[in-house]
Structure 1
Amino acid sequence: MLTRLLRREAPERCTAISEQAVMALLQRRTVQDVGAMTVFVELLDSTNLEQVDGRVLSILQSHLKSQDVLLRRLAVRSLVMLSGRCQKAATLQGLLPEVMQRLQDSDSEIRMGALTVLGSTLRLADGKTAGPIALQLFKTLLPLFENESSYVRERSILLCRDAMEVAVGTQRRQMRKDVRRSLVPLFFHLHDYDPSVAQASSETLHGAAKFLKRRQLRKLLKTEQPWKIGECLLAEGSSRAEEYLQQSLPYLRSPQQPLREAAVRFIGLAGRQLRDGRQENRQVICDGIGIVKCMINRLRASLSSLSHPSVQYVPITTVEDSYITILQNDD
């Protein structure tokens, strides 16, 4: 509050006070760390960036690992601001491993800040730094596709796109399996409620198709025909279809209705392809069908008192064929 008042009433003093905050940080007096960090962050836009040297960045790196959530937040906030300045963003690459660890922080503000920093700096880092980070990022980012925050979903999806683009040589070969595992989540998030997440999914899925040299998939993405894309994924062969089927089951319980409906249809496509396959495949599909039937029964119960002519839910069920489809009239 005081620093904000200072910026409004006496902006000419901000630079001097920010310099004092930097000096306090360099002295590393633990008791003063929170106060000095708060002033440093609040007045960072008044700070001479030449003062933010390796010593200050080392302190920020240390605070990223602090047990104190407030210090971690302040460190991430300062890095978000620094990463937004072209002349400083490239100098942050040494902190990227620690920033990446913050993607798993228990604090949502810190996770979002870490995504922002990585999104601003990964492309600017040299190959020696960016490549190993990109390899690790994919495994860390995939669970974030399902985060309740649309910002986290969008940024994590776009960061996967960036990771594919900075990987080179052997890193690309090592990344192929993780990129392939991202195809189904990206496909489902083409149906995301949030248009920015859906757009990010489309861009990243196109990048993944290019990475994996899937020409037909790239072609279908240009036509914007979601179900053709689903069929294309399942056409890779029975082993891939099995893997994709397993990945689709959690989406039957997605909090987003469009993703649940997409999962039902995808399982129907998989059922038709795998109905003559091994018994374990049929069991997986039947398990999915069981979930869908429960969903339909709950939906029918909730709609039993309503009469809405524009929506019809017509389940088509054959256990032997192992698929279900929900038909919904256009508005």
Structure 2
Amino acid sequence: MYFPISSLIQEFSQHSVLSSLFLEHVISVLDLTPVTKVDTERGENSSHSLDSPTDGDLLQAAVLALTAFFRGGGKTGKKAVEQHYSSVISPLTLQLGSCCGLARLGQLEYVRILLTAFQSFCDCVGDLEMGKILARHGENSDKEEWIDVIREIASCISLKRPKEVPHICTFLNKALERNQTSQREAAAAALSEFVRHSDGFPSLLEQMVEGMCLHISDESPIVRSLCLHGLVQIPESQILPYIIQVLGVIVALLEDHDEDVQLTAVQCLLTVLTSSPTDAVEPILINLSIRLRNLQVSMNANMRSKSFAAYGALSEFATSTQHQAFLEQVHATLPRLILHLHDTDIGVRQACRNTFKKLAPLMGADSSSSLLNKQYFNSDCRSDYEDFVRDVTRQLALFLSVKIDTHLATLIQAFDAPWPIIQANAIYFSCCILTLLEDQRSLAHFYLQIIAILVGKMSQSSDAVVRATCSFSLGLLLKTYSSQVWTVPTNLDRDCGPQLEP
């Protein structure tokens, strides 16, 4: 007599002894068989894929067998699944990591089979909320969506089945060592959520922190980002012993070659600084300042806003031992900060305003607080911004004069910024410095250099705001320059000036 394979599996699932043995075997097949050699970054497929009659067929058969087991096991099968909950959900979660790559390759059959198996598992054990999470997303090909799915599943497990979390996390921590990128990404995504619920499991938390720290150099930028994200999700009551370790990871990833990882590092820095003691931040304060300054000119507006915001947060750690060193960093950042007060992006503008307020006391500009309370400081109108720049130049005259060459060199460099509005801001700010500061004689060589640049930009720039600002500033500079009584050295070359930083 012929029995369909699904009927045979159901017979196994209903057997009091064989159900557990069969389930363990199928799970071992599922866990040991690679999904596909998919390049998750490029969405490319190698010769070993689900189209091959070996691993692909075996994997698909294992998933189909699980589905039949979940659906036909009755009370006996359900008991076996409940007893092996962590060993079932863990490899299924890793398999979800492959869904994005497979969907992009058009291999939707296995994605559907896997989702059906996962849904059947949820129905079998009564995890209805988890089933709804999967139903909301379906056959999505977006990587971030699948990461969110995995993290939502991890959160659901943590809330509904907290006793299973240690076993699952131990499995996932080991999975970070696997060769398959999609499985490492899935493991990192789940762990980054599970760590939030690790309060009460100190040894498990230590194990997870060690695993995530080891993989901040993973070849996958997604794994690097998720591991860092997980580190800053350590419960506040448990994070203090790990603060220095986490900050060290952030310092390293602020210089990552992948911009998404850098952005994650900046966002995580903002998060972890709120719970960091001064003695943990002080030794790396200048290091962090330099790295953040490099990110403030990113073409990514979110990166600019977060890096300016993080710079402001760092100012709270500029205590007596680091005050002078941090003040040097403020000098290096101030011109750029003032320029981006009128950035094209509203988020950057607001971040710069908040940071300027925090830095003002460090610059000895307590009197400028009256300027910060005026309407023009929070205005998005260009004329209001120019009024503020003019007034703040007067207020900060003493502070600016200390590093005047550095400030003007930075502003001249910004004449070629990728944003026309920042070019115009730099032109206007440099004009204010040259015309409003008292020590005009020491600025003579800058007059000629900047006048020469403005003449060129006025005729070459395609942006109306840049041309108008050049015209106004040029007139003001020429008027101020002609009224001076100094003698300009005969060997002064108008093309010479302070050497700009690369």
User: One fold, TM greater than 0.5?
Assistant: yes
In structure 1, the partner of 2:212 is: 60
- How far 1:43 sits from its partner (Å)? 6.4
Whether contact under 8 Å (2:175, 2:184) holds in the other structure is: no
In structure 1, the partner of 2:450 is: 288
Q: Name the aligned partner's letter for residue 354 of structure 2.
A: E
In structure 2, the partner of 1:49 is: 198
In structure 1, the partner of 2:441 is: 277
In the aligned structure 2, how far is the partner of 1:237 from the partner of 1:2? 56
- Within a 5 Å distance, the mapping from 1:101-140 to structure 2 comes to 101-140=252-291
Whether contact under 8 Å (1:18, 1:39) holds in the other structure is: no
In structure 1, the partner of 2:309 is: 158
3-state SS of paired residue (1:30):
coil
In structure 1, the partner of 2:131 is: 8
In the aligned structure 1, how far is the partner of 2:322 from the partner of 2:445? 36
3-state SS of paired residue (1:101):
helix
- Tell me which structure has the larger Cα radius of gyration: 2
1:102/1:255 Cα in 2 relative to 1: closer, same or farther (>3 Å)? same
Whether contact under 8 Å (1:141, 1:160) holds in the other structure is: yes
- How far 1:92 sits from its partner (Å)? 4.6
In structure 2, the partner of 1:191 is: 342
Greater helix share, 1 or 2? 1
Number of matched pairs: 311
In structure 1, the partner of 2:410 is: 247
Counterpart of 2:366 (choices 215, 237, 240) is: 215
The runs of 5 or more residues in structure 1 that have no matched partner are: 304-310, 324-331
In structure 2, the partner of 1:71 is: 223
Superposition TM-score, scaled by structure 2 size? 0.54
- How far 1:240 sits from its partner (Å)? 3.2
Whether contact under 8 Å (2:340, 2:348) holds in the other structure is: yes
In the aligned structure 1, how far is the partner of 2:277 from the partner of 2:175? 30
Question: Is 1:24 matched up with 2:171?
Answer: yes
Q: Write the deviation string for residues 97-125 of structure 1: whole angstroms up to 9, x where unpaired.
A: 12121111110110111111110011202
Whether contact under 8 Å (1:252, 1:292) holds in the other structure is: no
Q: Name the aligned partner's letter for residue 2 of structure 1.
A: L
1:45/1:29 Cα in 2 relative to 1: closer, same or farther (>3 Å)? closer
1:130/1:181 Cα in 2 relative to 1: closer, same or farther (>3 Å)? same
1:294/1:91 Cα in 2 relative to 1: closer, same or farther (>3 Å)? farther
Question: Is 1:178 matched up with 2:178?
Answer: no
In structure 2, the partner of 1:96 is: 247
Whether contact under 8 Å (2:305, 2:348) holds in the other structure is: yes
Whether contact under 8 Å (2:424, 2:469) holds in the other structure is: no
Whether contact under 8 Å (1:233, 1:241) holds in the other structure is: no
Question: Is 1:256 matched up with 2:419?
Answer: yes
1:21/1:282 Cα in 2 relative to 1: closer, same or farther (>3 Å)? farther
Q: Name the aligned partner's letter for residue 218 of structure 1.
A: S
- How far 1:73 sits from its partner (Å)? 3.1
3-state SS of paired residue (2:415):
helix
Question: Is 1:266 matched up with 2:429?
Answer: yes
1:274/1:106 Cα in 2 relative to 1: closer, same or farther (>3 Å)? farther
Name the Cα RMSD after superposition: 3.4
- How far 1:291 sits from its partner (Å)? 2.8
Q: Name the aligned partner's letter for residue 421 of structure 2.
A: P
Task: Tell which has more relative contact order, 1 or 2 (C-alpha 8 A, sep 6+).
Answer: 1
1:33/1:25 Cα in 2 relative to 1: closer, same or farther (>3 Å)? farther
